[in-house]
C-alpha cells in the first residue's frame, strides 16, 4: 500500500510514519525469499554495522554516538567480537 501525503511546509510529496512492525516484516520476507537459513533482524544489521565500523578503524566514541548508547561500556561489547575475528588473521613472521 503506497499512501503518500504532501508536506504543507515544503510541498514535498512523500510517505510518512511507517508502522514499526513493517521493517521487521519486510526483512523477514526478504530473508525467506533469499533462502537464508539464519535469523535476520534489524538488530543484527545494527550489530554488523557497529562491528564493521570497528574493523575499519572508527573510534569507539563515534560508534557510541551513532548507536545512541549512553555508556561506552555498552559499545565496548563490539570490541570483543572484533578482537576474536582478528585472532584468525594473526600470523607469526616466522611462518613465512
State pLDDT tens for residues 37-85: 888 998 888 888 888 888 888 988 999 999 898 988 888 887 777 767 6
Report if residue 76 sits inside a domain: yes
Report if residue 2 sits inside a domain: no
Report if residue 14 sits inside a domain: no
- The residue-averaged pLDDT of 10-26 equals 82
Report if residue 28 sits inside a domain: no
pLDDT for the residue numbered 89: 64
Closest-CA residue to 52 (of 85, 27, 30): 85
pLDDT for the residue numbered 77: 82
Cell of 69: 548508547
Q: The whole model's pTM is what?
A: 0.61
Report if residue 27 sits inside a domain: no
Cell of 15: 510517505
- The residue-averaged pLDDT of 10-14 equals 86
| Contacts for 63 with CB less than 8 Å, ≥ 6 apart | 50, 53, 54, 75, 78
Domain count for the chain: 1
Residue 87 has pLDDT above 60, yes or no: yes
Report if residue 24 sits inside a domain: no
Cα 61 to chain centroid distance, Å, stands at: 16
Report if residue 67 sits inside a domain: yes
Structural domain that includes position 66: 43-89
Amino acid at each position: 500500500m503506497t499512501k503518500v501525503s504532501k508536506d504543507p511546509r515544503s510541498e514535498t510529496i512523500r510517505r510518512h510514519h511507517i508502522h514499526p512492525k513493517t521493517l521487521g516484516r519486510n526483512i523477514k520476507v526478504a530473508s525467506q525469499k533469499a533462502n537464508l537459513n539464519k535469523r535476520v533482524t534489524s538488530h543484527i544489521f545494527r550489530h554488523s554495522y557497529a562491528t564493521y565500523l570497528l574493523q575499519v578503524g572508527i573510534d569507539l566514541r563515534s560508534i557510541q554516538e551513532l548507536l545512541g548508547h549512553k555508556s561506552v561500556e555498552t559499545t565496548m561489547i563490539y570490541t570483543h567480537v572484533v578482537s576474536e575475528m582478528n585472532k584468525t588473521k594473526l600470523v607469526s613472521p616466522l611462518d613465512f
